[in-house]
């Protein structure tokens, strides 16, 4: 009998579909939902307009927010909950390294090291990938005002940083999903194939390559 992962984290660059998949998985498994709340970050829109000036404040706000959410998860472990999240605390440093200058990164690292001690580790991480043009198209389509100034160059750098990060990630079983040609929210066949792979039991690094749907 397959044991379901009790804590799933869905990750990937901006616009790849993390939150939509997270919501659907939570509904399928009846899991608690843990979502990032970028709309609460008062610096985010200013960061996209002027990254150099607002990067440190933006990163520290997100770090405090994510660490607080994970601390709440750890306290809830007494009740043995199951949950799915649309972020992985480890990736926070990925954004910081990309956006901060060396002095700012030093400040950030000091705070990070104190906040992320004993952060719970997911039983499964799902990494969603998509090429930069598709990410840009999805960002424009969903129309979140703060994101409309994101450039293709920024997304390309972010995509590369994510790929490098997960190339070395080994804390949890990792399922890598190329989401460019599939629709895990609107296409039930694609989603059911993903569920089957999750239910089959995952170890190490695996790739989700769905079979084409026959019309």
> Which residues carry out catalysis?
86
Flag whether 17 is marked binding. yes
Q: Is 140 annotated as a binding residue?
A: yes
CA-to-CA distance for 11 and 189, rounded, in angstroms? 21
CA-based Rg of the chain, rounded to a whole angstrom? Answer: 17
Q: Is 51 annotated as a binding residue?
A: no
155-183 as b/e: b if 16+ CB within 10 A: bbebbebbeebbeebeebbbbbbebeebe
Q: 180: annotated binding-site residue?
A: no
Q: Is 15 annotated as a binding residue?
A: yes
- Residue 106 is labelled as binding a ligand: no
Which of 178, 181, 154, 176 is CA-nearest to residue 165? Answer: 176
According to DSSP, residue 115 is labeled H
CA 182 from centre of chain: 18
111 labelled binding-site residue: no
Element at 26 (helix H, strand E): helix 18-29
182 is in an annotated binding site: no
13 annotated as ligand-binding: yes
Q: Is 18 within any annotated ligand binding site? A: yes
Surface-to-core class of residue 50, CB atoms within 10 Å of its CB (0-12 exposed, 13-18 middle, 19+ buried): exposed
How far, in Å, are 2, 54, 126, 135, 214 from residue 185 at the CA level?
24, 34, 15, 16, 19
Neighbour count for residue 11 (Cβ, 10 Å):
24
Binding site members for ATP:
12-20, 138-142
Binding site members:
12-20, 138-142
């Amino acid at each position: 009998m397959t044991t379901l992962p009790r804590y799933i984290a869905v990750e990937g660059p901006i616009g790849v579909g993390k939150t939509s998949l997270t919501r659907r998985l939570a509904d399928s498994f009846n899991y608690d939902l843990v979502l990032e709340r970028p709309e609460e970050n008062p610096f985010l829109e200013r960061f996209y307009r002027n990254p150099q000036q607002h990067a440190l404040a933006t990163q520290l706000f997100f770090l405090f927010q994510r660490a607080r959410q994970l601390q709440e998860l750890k306290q809830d472990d007494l009740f043995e909950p199951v949950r799915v999240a649309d972020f992985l605390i480890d990736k926070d440093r990925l954004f910081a390294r990309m956006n901060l200058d060396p002095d700012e990164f030093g400040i950030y690292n000091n705070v990070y090291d104190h906040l992320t001690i004993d952060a719970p580790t997911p039983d499964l991480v799902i990494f969603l990938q998509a090429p930069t043009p598709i990410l840009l198209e999805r960002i424009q389509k969903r129309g979140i005002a703060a994101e409309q100034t994101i450039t293709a160059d920024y997304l390309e750098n972010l995509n590369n940083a994510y790929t490098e990060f997960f190339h070395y990630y080994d804390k949890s079983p990792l399922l890598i999903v190329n989401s460019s040609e599939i629709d895990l929210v609107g296409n039930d066949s694609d989603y059911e194939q993903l569920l089957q792979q999750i239910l089959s039991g995952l170890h190490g690094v695996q790739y989700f390559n769905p079979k084409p749907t026959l019309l």
